[in-house]
Amino acid sequence: MKISHKDLEACRLSPKSWVEAQGLNGGGRRLGYGRALALAIMEFHKTNSVASASAKIDQYVAKNFTNEKRIANLYQNLDDYATWFDGSAVISADSNVLLAFPVDQNWQLGGYVARIDSLASRYRAILFEGIAAGWKDQLRMPLIQIAIAQLYGRPANEVRVGLQEIDGNVIADTRYSKAQRDAAFMEFMGIGSKVSKLWPKAKS
């Protein structure tokens, strides 16, 4: 069983409500504007071509979107991001990284990390999201730090995790101590135990 890191706070607040909601989402999620932008940015990093990334947006728009203002923002955000990235000192080691943590458990943290930055002697995992108050208290953050460290074979204390607001390209990041990471992992597995007990009831 896998939970997206974006859903973890809701499940943390009420495992029962989260489990019950899964029955309503059986058809899967429709591609959203934010996800489309993240995929276009992945194409930009892969090809170093804004034109190629824009072509990806063309495909997503043709199949999924009709809101003209939001469509225009997709292309503008892509252009702004590419301009920002080309002028920054950021080195992208990877992008659009799918999580499956911990790899040896049935209860896993999933979802995508938008970009992995290679910094001096460390990595940084970035999510393309607004920087809301209290983001450092979200349970997913120290878990993502552990997951990325394991995925790339780095000590966890050499990995930072943070958010980037695409509208303006503002970044905030942090790093969690071993005690914080251990506590987060224990809480996460505890939530998984609650979910596993509730799941058959929700599906019966």
CA atoms lying within 13 Å on the CB side of residue 12 = 17
In contact, 2 and 109? CB cutoff 8 Å? yes
Helix (H) / strand (E) element for 172: namely strand 170-174
- Which residues, at least 6 apart from 96, have a Cβ–Cβ distance to it below 8 Å? 38, 39, 42, 112, 113, 114
* 64-97 pLDDT tens trace: 999 999 999 999 999 999 999 999 989 999 999 9
Q: How far apart are CA 58 and CA 56, in angstroms?
A: 5
Q: At what angle do helices 15-22 and 178-203 cross, to 10 degrees?
A: 50
Q: How far apart are CA 32 and CA 36, in angstroms?
A: 6
Q: Which amino acid is residue 17, in one-letter code?
A: S
Instruction: List the one residue out of 184, 175, 170 whose CA is nearest residue 149.
Output: 175
Q: pLDDT at residue 162 above 80?
A: yes
- Give percent of the chain with pLDDT exceeding 70: 95
- Give the model's pLDDT for residue 121: 79
Beta-bridge partners for 174: 161
Written as six digits, the tokens of 129 are 């999201």
Instruction: List the one residue out of 104, 101, 169, 106 whose CA is nearest residue 141.
Output: 101
Please count the other Cβ atoms lying within 10 Å of the Cβ belonging to residue 116.
20
* 13-43 pLDDT tens trace: 999 999 988 875 655 567 899 999 999 999 9
